[in-house]
Amino acid sequence: MGELTANPIEFISQFTGWWTLFSLLLTLCVTPIRYLFSLPVVFPLRRTFGLITFVYATIHFLTWLVLDQFFDWTEIALDLSKRPFIYIGFVAFAGLFILALTSTNRAKVVLGSLRWRRLHKSIYLIAILGVTHFFILVKRDVWEPLMFAAVLFVLLGYRLFLQLSNGRR
């Protein structure tokens, strides 16, 4: 317990939350790296990182549900209805859950490539929700959430730039 500070549940929650966001941003790095450095070999990493993100998010979610609230459904319902950072986090997790479910090759075939791509573009929204979730929950120490937000801004900005320049062509 000593290793995990005096409040191990808070520690696990923060640790898994941090790595969820980190691996999510890593997932979003794959496409720019692939194009900027002409490295198609990195492409499969997108799914790998995406699933790692989901694993961290799941542990993070279960930490809240089990370790933090211990199935106190009244408290869970109050948390979900009243606390913006909780419901934002919950929606983001639900989104990740759907993306993980549809991450298989088979799902891609069933959904059809176009629909699959549209669905998986929701990762941008999930990333924004995830960083927002972090941003709201800290008390005054916004430095880390700001870093995540800055990286996300660049990654999304890159895609917007591509979209706009393609549109002009």
Spatial contact of 24 and 127, defined as CB atoms under 8 Å apart: yes
Site for another protein contains 55 (CB under 8 A): no
**Near another protein in 121-160, by CB under 8 A:** 136-137, 139-141, 143
How many residues touch another protein (CB under 8 A)?
A: 23
Burial of 127 from C-beta contacts in 10 A (0-12 / 13-18 / 19+): buried
- Shortest gap between Cβ of 150 and another protein (angstroms)? 17
Please report whether residue 87 would count as binding another protein according to CB under 8 A. Answer: no
CB of 111 or CB of 149, closer to another protein? 149
Tell whether residue 65 is a contact of another protein (CB under 8 A): no
Which positions lie near another protein, rule CB under 8 A? 2, 5-7, 9-10, 67, 69-70, 72, 75, 78-79, 82-85, 136-137, 139-141, 143
